[in-house]
Copies of this chain bind each other. A is one copy, B any other.
Amino acid sequence: MAYELFYWPGLQGRGEFVRLAFEATKTPYVDIVREAGPGRGMGEMMSMLRDDSLVEAPFAPPFLRVGDQIIGQTANILQYLGPRLGLAGKDERTQIFTHGLQLTIADLVTEVHDSHHPIASRLYYSAQRNEARKRSADLIDYRVPKFFGYFERVLTNNPSHKGWLVGDALTYADLSLFQVIAGLHFAFPRAMTGFANAYPRCATVHDAVAALPAIAAYLQSPRRVPFNNTGIFRHYKALDRASPF
């Protein structure tokens, strides 16, 4: 059965965490909204979102369709794909720890989003610029160090010492960590100066993921939407600040 990914066009957003899992493992998938033809395109996604009769209705994109099963929520999709694509440990305990890391990354992603939209997602950034400046300062000075201090500790304590977050092999949590670090570099280039010195193991995960042949090829391809100011990671000069590291 084909894996069909539904996500908004024109931005990486949360859909990108799912794309990275497919791309890293060279798993065929259909990026429904970005492809043309019957049963594809924006209309297909909107008809799913508006379908009042769906039993497994998703709350919001991204969601995945596999046959007639619909799976919503990024971390849930990755958990489903993990064992199927070889991106999660083999035993339940390892999979649970991997999922916990993913949920912590998801919390950070929400905080990054809210740094430019602290009052309301539905309003423009320009309508909440002053509040965004305050929240971004807190994100950069306190929250980013807290999250990456944690991930650095997890990497340090992993007994297999292969450089990945869990066990001795790549998991979807490593792919997501790469994406968050790449996104923060785009959004806050000044603040992220010194990141690699402060969190060397996290920086190594970023570089190792970027160097995976399948990911390196993907990042050069037109399938990788460039970072831009409609996504989660946005570069507004007014929100960037001196590096806390």
Contact A119 B135 (CB under 8 A): yes
Q: How far is the CB of A178 from chain B (nearest CB, A)?
A: 19
Contact B119 A72 (CB under 8 A): no
Neighbouring B residues of A120 by C-beta, 8 Å: 134-135, 138, 142
A73 within 8 A of B: yes
A76 within 8 A of B: yes
Contact B58 A73 (CB under 8 A): no
A27 within 8 A of B: no
- Find A157's partner among B54, B75, B122, B134 (CB 8 Å cutoff): B54
Q: For the side of the interface on A, what is the size category?
A: 35 or more
Neighbouring B residues of A230 by C-beta, 8 Å: none
Question: Are A153 and B55 CB-contacts (below 8 A) given A119-B118, A138-B119?
Answer: no
Q: How far is the CB of A180 from chain B (nearest CB, A)?
A: 14
- Find A119's partner among B53, B75, B99, B134 (CB 8 Å cutoff): B134
Q: How many copies does the complex hold?
A: 2
Residue of B nearest to A53 (CB): B157
From A56, A58, A150, A154, name the one whose CB has the most chain B CB atoms within 10 angstroms. A56
Contact A153 B57 (CB under 8 A): yes
Neighbouring B residues of A79 by C-beta, 8 Å: 96, 99
Question: In the docked arrangement, what's the CA distance between A194 and B97, Å?
Answer: 41
Q: How far is the CB of A153 from chain B (nearest CB, A)?
A: 6
Tell me which residues from 98 to 144 in chain A have a Cβ below 8 Å from any Cβ of chain B.
99-100, 103-104, 107, 110, 114, 118-120, 122-123, 131, 134-135, 138, 142
Question: Are A96 and B122 CB-contacts (below 8 A) given A104-B59, A157-B57?
Answer: no
Can you pick out 27 interface pairs between chain A and chain B where the beta carbons lie within 8 Å of each other?
A52-B153, A52-B157, A57-B150, A57-B154, A58-B100, A59-B104, A59-B107, A59-B147, A69-B93, A72-B103, A72-B104, A73-B99, A73-B103, A76-B96, A79-B99, A80-B96, A103-B103, A110-B110, A114-B118, A118-B135, A119-B131, A119-B138, A120-B134, A120-B142, A122-B142, A123-B138, A131-B131
